[in-house]
């Protein structure tokens, strides 16, 4: 069931995944399901919904990330990773990319460490800390910052800025409230490079990926 759904979603997204990618995505889902029963990692129950909403949602951003990230091995921070979305699926499909997962809740980072070991993911770093604290420790080191269901757009942009290299980008995974949230962003400070609709196979919920770059440099790197 899960395999065919996953294959269906992937085929429609036009991503070229190999057998190892698919096996690891399946394994990640399985582990998430197992831990969810005990620790309530995510709010969404049921295999069908988790395939669609969590995993496919997370890899649907890949074609746009590939288009905008020029570095062969970009360093990307995922703020408020929770159970590893979108960072783990991205790290599985793009083993040359370096993902830093920042999550304050320890039971969630314990799960992420478990997944890292189980899937032998060498390209992820897991920080069990608050985003605000990591920003001070690692300023200006990331090609991109991404998040899913983390916070509102204006706050996400404020929190992302210190992480970015001078030409760094922010990728905000948003739903239908994106327009409302955009109103609260000072567009003197940010340039909207793209606002891409994401088609999630078999799911009618609106999803969008906003790509933004800062007009000013981070106060921590200037």
Ligand X SMILES: C[S@@+](CC[C@H](N)C(=O)[O-])C[C@H]1O[C@@H](n2cnc3c(N)ncnc32)[C@H](O)[C@@H]1O
Residues binding ligand X (CB under 6 A): 42, 80-83, 85, 102-105, 108, 130-132, 148-150
Q: Choose between 148 and 174: whose C-beta lies nearer to ligand X.
A: 148
Please tell me what DSSP assigns to residue 163: G
**For tokens 């590893």, what's the residue?**
84
Is 83 labeled as ligand-binding?
A: no
Smallest distance from ligand X to CB 103, Å: 5
Smallest distance from ligand X to CB 79, Å: 7
Q: What's the residue count for the chain?
A: 222
With beta carbons less than 8 A apart as the criterion, state whether 195 and 213 touch: no
Q: Choose between 166 and 175: whose C-beta lies nearer to ligand X.
A: 175
Q: Choose between 130 and 191: whose C-beta lies nearer to ligand X.
A: 130
Q: What is the C-alpha to C-alpha distance for residues 166 and 209, in angstroms, rounded to an integer? A: 21
From first CA to last CA, the distance across the chain in angstroms is 52
Is 99 labeled as ligand-binding?
A: no
Identify the helix (H) or strand (E) that includes residue 193. Answer: strand 190-198
Smallest distance from ligand X to CB 72, Å: 26
Q: Is 98 helix (H, G, I), strand (E, B) or coil?
A: strand
Is 115 labeled as ligand-binding?
A: no
Q: Choose between 48 and 191: whose C-beta lies nearer to ligand X.
A: 48
Is 3 labeled as ligand-binding?
A: no
Is 117 labeled as ligand-binding?
A: no
Written as six digits, the tokens of 149 are 């269901």
């Amino acid at each position: 069931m899960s395999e065919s759904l996953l294959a269906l979603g992937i085929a429609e997204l036009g991503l070229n995944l190999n057998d190892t990618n698919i096996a690891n995505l399946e394994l990640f889902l399985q582990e998430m399901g197992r831990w969810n029963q005990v620790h309530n990692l995510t709010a969404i129950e049921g295999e069908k919904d988790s395939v669609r909403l969590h995993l496919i949602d997370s890899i649907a951003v890949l074609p746009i990330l590939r288009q905008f990230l020029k570095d062969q091995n970009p360093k990307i921070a995922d703020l408020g990773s929770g159970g590893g979305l979108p960072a783990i699926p991205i790290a599985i499909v793009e083993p040359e990319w370096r993902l830093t997962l920042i999550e304050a809740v320890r039971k969630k980072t314990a799960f992420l460490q478990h997944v890292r070991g189980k899937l032998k993911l060498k390209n992820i770093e897991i920080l069990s800390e608050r985003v605000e604290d990591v920003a001070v420790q690692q300023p200006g080191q990331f090609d991109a910052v991404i998040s899913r269901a983390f916070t509102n757009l204006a706050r996400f942009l404020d929190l992302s800025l210190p992480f970015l290299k001078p030409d760094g980008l922010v990728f905000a995974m948003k739903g239908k409230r994106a327009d409302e949230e955009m109103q609260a962003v000072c567009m003197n400070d940010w340039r909207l490079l793209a606002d891409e609709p994401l088609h999630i196979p078999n799911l009618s919920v609106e999803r969008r990926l906003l790509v933004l770059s800062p007009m000013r440099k981070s106060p921590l790197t200037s």
